[in-house]
Amino acid sequence: MIAIVLLIAFTVAVGGILSLWLTTLTSTQTTTTGSAAEKQILCARSVLSIEEVTHSVIGSDNLVNVTVVYKYGDENLYNFTLTFIDNARNSFTLNQTRLSEIVVQYNNSAGEQFSPGMMTVWSLNLTDAQSGETGADSLTGTSLQSVRVRALCQTNYPVSGECKSGQSCMA
In tens, the pLDDT along 90-135 reads: 888 887 766 666 554 444 444 467 888 888 888 887 776 666 554 4
**What is the CATH architecture assignment of 47-164?**
Sandwich (2.60)
Compute the mean pLDDT over every residue in the chain, rounded to the nearest whole number: 79
Q: Could you give the percent of the chain with pLDDT greater than 70?
A: 80
| Residue range 69-89: mean pLDDT, rounded | 87
Question: Burial letters for 89-100: b for 16+ Cβ neighbours within 10 Å, e otherwise?
Answer: eeebebeeebbe
Q: Whole-prediction pTM value? A: 0.69
pLDDT for 100 equals 63
Query: Is the pLDDT reported for residue 50 higher than 60?
Result: yes
What are the sequence ranges of the domains in the chain? Answer: 1-44, 47-164
CA angle 62, 68, 70 (to 5 degrees): 165
